[in-house]
Structure 1
Amino acid sequence: MLNFINDSCIQKQTVMSNLCVVCLNSTINPKNLNEIDSKQTKIIIKLRQCVPEVEWQIESQICLPCLEQLENVCTFRDLCIKSYLKRKNSSEIKLEEEKPPIKEDNDRFVCFHCEKTFKIKSILEDHIKYKHTETDLTKPLNICDVCGSSFSNKYLLKRHLKNVHATEKKFKCELCERKFASPVYLNAHKRYHSGERKHICSFCGKGYITASDLYHHEKIHANKRAYRCHICPKAFNTSSDLHKHKICVHQDRSQWKYECSFCQRRFPLKTNLDTHTKTHTGERNFLCHLCDRKCINRSVLKRHIESHSVVKSFKCNLCLQGYKYQKSLDIHMMKIHGIGDAKIPERIKKYFCSICPKSYFANNKLQKHIRTHTGEKPFQCPACDKCFIDKSYIKQHLKTAHNVFE
């Protein structure tokens, strides 16, 4: 009897594991959604593209009849997109024929799109080609491997690498320590020292120093999200954001090329490494105007200033717990209620005391601990001469010793 029950359970588990995630019927030899089809595309990617409303799980399976229907849908979808792009291109060509992009005005050549003037016609033609011709997103972009910027042709990419990421930079700024490979880039850099923001966004009124900065900013307002990731359903407003997404999310961490010289931790972008390195060196140049806290960078300072507020705008609708940030609420929902897909951060004691074996999760905790070794007490009570190793002790001291309640 026991053997019969065990066989029945095994048979039931086998049937459940062979269920198709689409039609919910049991099937023989189902395909895993993580498998790659004949066109070198994962099945789950096609499902997410065709039916983004459903949260497809990578461990699910699909039967062959449903997979065949999915292929038909994808073929039809590709046909519609190709037809749309063909019509769009033909309409743009017709528009260019009806209204020429170049007009002459007092021996100067004027761009039809932005009214900029040029003395030489060939320079204007290059301007139109590189500034006002929309990049064909069906073709591979020329992307800089160093910073993620994209260019319409290999020549511009090569020029960018030569001038921006060149190893030899002879032209030095007199106002700071930065150097450049050409006087053109040096002069462009000097504009940032002047602080003049004459390029104004027509959507929000925010000013920018260069036309290029404004151009990339206004793409955010347009929110076309024309740059789509071919691995997941996410899309971005700029090719640079897409490139960073691919590196940060889809590239293997062992291939990240920025390595910390202190702890050998790897990072996808140089900005990430620069910020992380400051946790080792202790460099904190951004001072809070509400307290004596110093922060690593401007974004950390902004989050810190928000911590002075007592407003908790993000409420859990199940237990009414409040949080200051949406990310904190998302982690709470996943950790406490098992809802959502937020990644629960793994806490690692990466800050080690050089005097004893103790380690800490946060650098400020480590600094507090080190003062127990050195005897340093930098925080003095405002009502007496007593000093403490940590500012938090003053509040309790005021209550017990001076009967002061804040």
Structure 2
Amino acid sequence: MFHICNAQLDVLENGRNKALLAQRHAKKKFVIELIEVYRNLPSLWDTNSEVYFDRKLKKQQYEILLQKYKEKYPNATKDKVKGKIQALRANFRREIKLMSASGASTLYYFDAMKFLLNLKHFAVRNSNEAKDEKFTATGSILNDTQSIKLAVLYKKYKCLWDEKEISYRFANRRREALENILEEYNTTCGLSLTKNDLDKEIIKLRKICTNEKRHKIACKRSNKVYKPMCPYYQHLEYLEVDVHPYECNFCDKVIYGICQYKIHLASHDGSLPFKCNVCGNGFKLATNLTVHLRRHVQDYTYSCEFCKKTCATTTELRNHERMHTGEKPFVCDTCGKTLSTYSEFKRHDQRHGNQPTHKCEICSKMFYEKRKLKEHMYSHRNVRDSICDVCNKGFVSVKQLRQHKLIHNEEKKYLCKICGKRFAQYAGLSSHMKTHGTKLTGNSFKNFDR
């Protein structure tokens, strides 16, 4: 048996430690180099400069930064390098707050990022200055009494600050609310504020709330008694639910973006971050929740130019308008069939591969469409609670009842193109076509006489 003596083990251990130290040193060196490249790309960080607002230049400079990042991480993407920079900035900002009175820092790249201190939101504030700070509403054209009236009026329109209100995520409803506030405020106060004036005053009120909320968290963490700096803060406190910073109730982490805060909270229990307050459904993206909420209240913003039907999204509108135009842009490579929507094309392709994706948990039957599975589940209930008001016959689903009630209609709208015989239900016409030695196709179904 092969034996290794203690001396050899020590040599191996020392070798591993040296390798780890060298690896860490190389990683730190690369971070410093990355920051230096970042420093020379002002459109990515210098908010005091005009180049910061140049989107084309910003895109070009991100590509430069990405190329540097790929030197160590060849498969990196633009999102990866953005995330790395955001993490470095967050640590730098946190270090500023934690620094001792002497200004000493333990963050190895702190000196490399000192160029950010020229930016207003990174400036180091003297603790005594912060303690003696007085409330000032700079840039306001309203006095305290007028500001209080605006705060009280703003509170009435929950869609502007309360995310539990469905219309909170609807830009058109928010615009309407702001127009109503402007008209009502000018009328009651005898002023003539413009829309631009109102926007500035509302931003001012929200900034006051942000500063107070930050001050409140700082007092709580240092076990100090919180005293509002704004003399009328009791009229603004309701806005705390909609302005940063947000403090996690689970781990006390402070987060500065509402979406990031939602995602962070969801990470604690593994749930989806954006939840519907009406039905409880969760979504990965805020935009998906917005569309979902519009469906609840049928507040649609897009309409068909042919029939004026309203749709929740541009994708839905585009798919609907293809019914009018007959456009079918999706072509099956296997059989050549053309389809009008991607979802139809995807289901069609799954049928070629015999890959149904929805499974009944009771009988294990498979389906290609979720709605077909839902219809199938009614058969397991076997509760015929959908009753026909004509003959009192019961059915397990509303769809079956709707199909049944067609037989009670005087008009039989399904017409056989061969012999002229009419049927009340599609199933009757489909069965009848077999007597002619043929069957209904998708096109013949669309051409029936209504």
Fold equivalence (TM over 0.5): no
What is the TM-score of this pair, normalised by structure 1? 0.37
Q: Which has the higher strand share?
A: 1
Structure with a larger share of its residues in helix: 2
